[in-house]
């Protein structure tokens, strides 16, 4: 045996083992760094839709399931995919605070939307009371810090759509009193006073009443959430706001040209405003290839079985399913990964600055998460990835929750001043929509 062959045969495995040991030690070091950061700064997720899943799957009956169990392998009563959220996985994910979305569908209008929102708020409060050893309601930045230091997870409430106040500033104020600390100005459809990102433009931003909504939210201390709104609405709200805004669950439009994401020119305005963009994990918002595949997949479904009259195989579900399966085999779903989320975080940091980026997963409001970020136990893996990319502990702390805590405290300070100088708005409700021609 030659000396070269000896080295290849015997020394390379030794080098490989040594390298593996170094990599494992590095991973342990990263995990230890994450632990140190999150012991001091709560990891705050800006958006989780568990309350609606509790309503839909279990009829708001907390006796029908137990969040103290790991539910990652538990399918819903009608075969729904397992929940992405439970207390063991929140603990594994080192979550320090969670904004629970009290979303209701845009199809609910008027008083029904208001009542259903209050019922969703009730779910959050009942859930927090039922699991009081792990969860506690929070209403201020100081509450979040106190609860985190006590070893519990702070529970906060966010309203996901301006339709949920039924065009009433009085209802907006009552929602704040009920515990809501942000409101998304629209959801998937326009309101009478604000344009959604996923609806045809109607008012091209905000109406005068919409400006009053933003002003009143600033006055009472409710965060203005610009996820789901159009770029014109984003700009109008940023122009009207005197407190920092948030995006509770949106990503970077320069990387994925999806209307739910934030354009670079708006990111710069957010930085000037002092706000924060909390990055969404939904594959369609973080991977351009996945977004395009999803659009093609939807179109293919319609081609085979578009109700009520279209589709090649309308009324033939087995044939339509077989055709779609054949298309899926020929067009496999592209990957969407934790690295894509990290890319969006880094882009927002590059454009807006380290002080203006956060985390807003949208867990249990999305059908799936990216590989590596499938559920609430995976946040540390994302932070470790950013550390591998050179992020310092101080920068990780800002991303994890420090930036949002700053925004919350700033909004509270603005509200304290405005309440002393500005009376509650007496703006009339917006006029009814014009009749369709």
How many of the other CB atoms lie within 10 Å of CB of 40? 15
Comparing CA positions, the residue from 135, 381, 421 lying closest to residue 281 is 381
Is 294 marked active-site?
Answer: no
Question: Would you give the DSSP letter of residue 371?
Answer: B
The active-site residue, picked from 148, 163, 187, 356, is: 187
The active-site residue, picked from 362, 377, 385, 395, is: 362
The active-site residue, picked from 228, 258, 340, 344, is: 228
β 357-359/276-279 pair status: parallel
Is 258 marked active-site?
Answer: no
Question: How far does CA 83 lie from the centroid of its chain?
Answer: 16
Is 47 marked active-site?
Answer: yes
Helices 50-58, 110-130: axis angle to 10 degrees equals 100
- What contacts 24+ positions apart, CB below 8 Å, involve 368-372? 368/81, 368/283, 369/84, 369/281, 369/282, 369/283, 370/281, 370/283, 370/286, 370/287, 370/336, 370/337, 370/338, 370/340, 370/341, 371/335, 371/336, 371/337, 371/338, 372/337, 372/338, 372/339
The active-site residue, picked from 148, 249, 258, 356, is: 249
User: Cis (ω within 30 of 0) for the bond into 308?
Assistant: yes
The active-site residue, picked from 45, 53, 136, 160, is: 160
* Distance (Å, whole) CA 409 – CA 142: 8
The active-site residue, picked from 45, 47, 294, 344, is: 47
Take residue 106 and report the two structure tokens written for it. 């845009």
- Scored b (16 or more CB within 10 A) or e, 234-249 reads bbbbbebbebbbbbbb
Is 134 marked active-site?
Answer: no
Question: Would you give the DSSP letter of residue 431?
Answer: P
Give catalytic residue positions: 47, 49, 160, 187, 228, 249, 362
């Amino acid at each position: 045996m030659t000396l070269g062959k000896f080295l290849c045969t015997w020394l390379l495995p030794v080098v490989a083992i040594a390298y593996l040991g170094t990599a494992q030690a590095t991973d342990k070091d990263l995990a230890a760094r994450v632990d140190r950061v999150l012991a001091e700064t709560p990891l705050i997720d800006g958006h989780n839709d568990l309350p609606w899943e509790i309503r839909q799957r279990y009829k708001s009956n907390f006796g029908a399931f137990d969040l103290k169990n790991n539910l990652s392998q538990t399918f819903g009563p009608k075969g729904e995919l397992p929940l992405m959220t439970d207390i063991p996985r929140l603990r594994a994910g080192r979550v320090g605070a969670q904004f629970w979305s009290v979303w209701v569908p845009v199809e609910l209008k008027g008083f029904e939307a208001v009542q259903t929102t209050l019922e969703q708020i009730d779910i959050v409060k009942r859930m927090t009371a039922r699991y009081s050893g792990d969860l506690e309601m929070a209403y201020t930045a100081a509450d979040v810090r106190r609860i985190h230091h006590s070893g519990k997870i702070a529970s906060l409430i966010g309203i996901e759509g301006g339709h949920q106040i039924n065009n009433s500033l009085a209802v907006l104020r009552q929602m704040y009193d009920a515990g809501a600390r942000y409101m998304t100005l629209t959801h998937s459809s326009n309101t009478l006073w604000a344009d959604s990102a996923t609806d045809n433009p109607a008012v091209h931003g905000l109406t005068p009443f919409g400006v009053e909504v933003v002003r009143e939210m600033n006055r009472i201390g409710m965060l203005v959430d610009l996820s789901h709104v159009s770029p014109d609405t984003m700009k109008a709200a940023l122009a009207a706001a005197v407190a920092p805004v948030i995006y509770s669950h949106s990503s970077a439009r320069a990387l994925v040209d999806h209307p739910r994401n934030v354009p670079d020119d708006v990111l710069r305005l957010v930085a000037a405003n002092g706000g924060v963009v909390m990055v969404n994990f939904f594959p369609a918002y973080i991977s351009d290839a996945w977004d395009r595949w999803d659009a093609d997949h939807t179109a293919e479904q319609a081609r085979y079985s578009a109700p009520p009259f279209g589709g090649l195989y309308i009324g033939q579900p087995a044939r339509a399913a077989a055709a779609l399966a054949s298309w899926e085999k020929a067009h496999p779903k592209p990957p969407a990964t934790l690295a894509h989320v990290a890319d969006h975080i880094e882009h927002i940091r590059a454009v807006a600055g380290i002080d203006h980026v956060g985390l807003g997963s949208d867990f249990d409001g999305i059908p799936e998460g990216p590989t590596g970020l499938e559920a609430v136990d995976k946040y540390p893996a994302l932070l470790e990835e950013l550390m591998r990319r050179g992020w310092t502990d101080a920068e990780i702390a800002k991303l994890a929750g420090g930036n949002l805590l700053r925004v919350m405290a700033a909004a509270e300070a603005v509200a304290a001043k405005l309440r002393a100088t500005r009376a509650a708005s007496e703006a009339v409700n917006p006029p009814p929509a014009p009749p369709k021609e």
